[in-house]
Structure 1
């Protein structure tokens, strides 16, 4: 068969070194024309561009077009589609197609041929990425940005490594329904309310069923409401549950935790770590920063630090990330550490890919779409924090609404869930009367006593279930959100 493939003279010495197996391509095409049923096994992964020889790619494409029309694909039916092909004419025209079917033994190894053709195509892609990387790195002109080159190389490598996943996104209903049943089974085994990754807060788990893969969740609030604290709490709870379940021998698919990536665009990594240490040691962050701790407190701090040293919580505090750079870094963490949950603090600090001439609404739209795409691409939940507009402060009822999201249209549309964190005591505290002996101050003190340490999480949008409000306890000293003690009635759901 090889003598019919003399149309493959390499253009250069470099091209001659590219990985390929032209004979395997010819054998596979012959087998496909002899038995069209083989296409059912190879067409999900193999595409025309995976063939080294362009003519073979065109033959494969023509063959697949016929099969899509429920027609038989053989040298006779393919003749009208290929007889004018210049490369085929050089090999004797349509007779070449008949010659490809001459080796019936190829039927036995057809699936292996397809796998090898695909693997060699990946290797050629890798060679291309490497060459481009070298050429770009050798370019020392003034407008070259090495960091951008590294990010571009990461994206290219990820596309090569995930090439198989990108072509397998179409699922049969059987496959999809099996996955749905597995989610339901996971919720049943957890005690009836947790089908995703735990947030560590039972009342929230019961409301949303945990953090679900491919979901984009937006957590929004005015400054001082504690949205970063809540995100940090959830990130810690998910990563610590991963460690606990793994230590208990629970298999990965049933683990209720997740290795977590925390992109902190506002706070530094050590500030974020201080929050986690404060929460776990019971010492306020202020006392930690100023050294106002006793020897016993320091021992508690050391114990907490030792327990957390193996915590799979990865903090990236690079400022001014673009959405493209964030996605590249997330892919890298997924590949290296198999992260299962991503937190971004916060959305408005990300930058779009525009050159500064776009308006901010379009930029936020690009960012929110990019975050949703990231959640689906890596198949992990993504929790992004967001600012609220000042419209909240103008209303008597300070509870946020969806319309309060800054540049809200796209954020609200792209999100699978939108949460608002609200602490009434924050606003009441600001209204303390000046006369500390008067009746007004006494009334204010009673109101503060009633609401102090209470927080609400408003689930304003949820694709998987109902909206509503959840009461939580907030310990401002150690910035920890937790479940309320038994006896507190849940808040009413929205209609």
Structure 2
């Protein structure tokens, strides 16, 4: 049998030795030809480019080709496919294929050989990424962008790490069913209403079962409806529930809360913090901003601040993020803080990779697909806020519809759930008649009394269940949504 070490290219010998085991590659190929069932196991896991020796990669590709066509792969059947291969011809042609099958003992260690070939390929890829990082850092002939270089390096390293998934994304029904049963068990233990991360609002939890892992949820509404307020409420509720369950000794798999990452592309981190402090202290955001608070208010504020200091809520207020940069930062937070929920405010402020002048709808479609991919990649729910088009304002009934999603592209298609927040009192306020028209003014006042503080969450798409409506109470003074008390109105679900 030809010495596999002799297959190493001269160019490779001159450079620092890359991780490789050519003998293991040769033994694996021999085992695959002796027992084609082993080759079937490797389909989708091992690729031709994982072999250090290019000839071995070509032989492996030919074996896979035959096995994939339900044909026998052995030196005889492989010969026509490789007879014109110069590399194989230099080593004796089909005779080299026969030599690879010379040791039946290689079948016993085939799985170990395959794993080693794969692991060494990952190490070589890591070396390549490292070299690219060094070359990029040393090249000052182009625009100097250290932050961009760091983000690109993180993406490259994450791709190497993700490539380690030995199952290639394929899971048995048994493993998938176990995950499904775990979710059902969570819902049962939560009283039959919650299988995902809690929103902190009973009406929403009962309607959708919480925020489910790998789901993309779109929360949309016109300006002034309270999208950001509802998002911050959910962020706080999820993070605080995680703290409570953690203190009670509940492990992460059964924890109904989540460590939360909030990407705020519109508001600064301190503005968001002010909102959360207002919600939890009961002091209006306006009073906090202007400093018009008394000693009692300050005591309440201090208490709220103490309670929030250990809240696992991480805010990134970097403006103008691209979808690629956001995904990089989210991965980083996942590794550092084990986040279980991502919130983005808001989708249209993200940037795609499309070149200037490209269709904006296509760019938004790229962003929505990127967010769905992120949800699946990190296995966490992603709640993304979205603007609505002005078409809502031209209708008599201002309740949003799926067609109102601004620059929608594939937003509706990519989303697992689409929620619209709607407050009728916001629009009714603009219809205030003149006080001189006493009858009209009195009728308006009576209507305002009935609807003030009453909000609706319209669940217009839900892969997991039915669509419908959830009623909530909204306190505009502290920008807080809560469950609607039973005051004679329908309390929530349709």
Secondary structure, aligned partner of 1:252: coil
Secondary structure of 1:261's partner?
A: strand
- Hey, what's the Cα distance between the residues in 2 that align with 1:44 and 1:248? 43
Equivalent residue of 1:253, what SS?
coil
Q: 1-side partners of 2:332 and 2:261: how far apart?
A: 11
Partner residue in 2 for 1:68: 68
1:166–1:239: structure 2 CA closer, same or farther, 3 Å change rule?
farther
Which residue matches 1:170? 170
The answer on 1:201 being equivalent to 2:192 is: no
Unaligned runs of 5+ in 2: none
SS in 1 for 2:319: coil
Distance 2:183 2:493 in 1: 27
Classify the secondary structure of the residue corresponding to 2:352.
coil
How has the CA–CA distance of structure 1 residues 16 and 3 changed in structure 2, closer, same or farther, with 3 Å as cutoff?
Answer: farther
1:40-86 Cα distance to aligned partner (Å, 9 max, x none): 54444322211111111112222222222333332223222223221
Whether 1:293 aligns to 2:296 is no
Residue 166 of structure 1 deviates from its aligned partner by 8.1
Where in structure 2 are the equivalents of 1:116-265 lying within 5 Å?
Answer: 116-165=116-165, 168-265=168-265
What is the rounded CA distance, in whole Å, between the counterparts of 1:8 and 1:327 in structure 2? 39
Query: CA, structure 1 residues 260+431, in 2 after alignment: closer, same or farther (shift >3 Å)?
Result: same
| TM-score (structure 1 length as normaliser) | 0.94
Distance in structure 1 (CA, Å) of the matches to 2:176 and 2:87: 43
- CA 1:445–1:305: 2 relative to 1, 3 Å: same
Using the alignment, how far apart are the partners of 1:164 and 1:463 within structure 2?
31
- What is the CA RMSD across the aligned residues, in angstroms? 2.1
Aligned 8 A contact 1:230 1:480 in 2? yes
Contact kept, 8 Å, 2:218 with 2:418, in 1: the verdict is yes
Q: Quick check: 1:367 aligned with 2:367?
A: yes
Query: Using a 3 Å threshold, how does the CA distance of structure 1 residues 386 and 37 change in structure 2: closer, same or farther?
Result: same
Higher mean alpha-carbon deviation, 122-131 vs 253-262, is at 253-262
Q: Does the 8 Å CA contact 1:10/1:16 hold for their aligned counterparts?
A: no
Gaps of 5+ in 1: none
Name whichever of 427-436 and 307-316 sits farther off: 427-436
Deviations 1:279-303 (A, max 9, x none): 1222222222222222232222222
For 2:352 and 2:37, the matched residues in 1 are separated by: 47
CA offsets per residue over residues 107-147 of structure 1, 9 Å max, x none?
A: 33322222222111111111111111111111112434333
SS at match of 1:435: coil
- 1:18, 1:351 → 2: CA distance? 38
Equivalent residue for 2:90? 90
The separation in 2 between residues aligned to 1:4 and 1:382, in whole angstroms, is: 50
Residue 16 of structure 1 deviates from its aligned partner by 4.1
Q: Which moves more between the two structures, 427-436 or 464-473? A: 427-436
- Tell me the secondary structure at the aligned position of residue 384 of structure 2: strand
Equivalent in the alignment of 2:451: 451
* Whole-angstrom CA distance in 2 between matches of 1:295 and 1:461: 47
For residues 288-328 of structure 1, the C-alpha deviation after alignment (integer angstroms, 9 at most, x for no partner) is 22222222322222222222222221111011111121122
Residue 387 of structure 2 corresponds to 387
- The 8 Å contact of residues 41 and 111 in structure 1, kept in 2 or not, is answered as no
Residues matched between the structures, number = 493
3-state SS in 2 of match to 1:165: coil
After superposing the two structures, state which structure 1 stretch, 325-334 or 42-51, moved more: 42-51
Q: Counterparts of 1:181 and 1:157 in 2: how far apart (Å)?
A: 34
SS of the residue corresponding to residue 386 of structure 1 reads: strand
Distance 1:45 1:35 in 2: 17
Evaluate the alpha carbon distance shift between residue 273 and residue 166 of structure 1 in structure 2; reply closer, same or farther with a 3 A threshold. farther
Do the aligned partners of 2:220 and 2:421 also contact (CA within 8 Å) in 1?
Answer: yes
Q: Distance in 2 between matches of 1:176 and 1:251?
A: 21
Moved segments of 4+, more than 6 Å: none
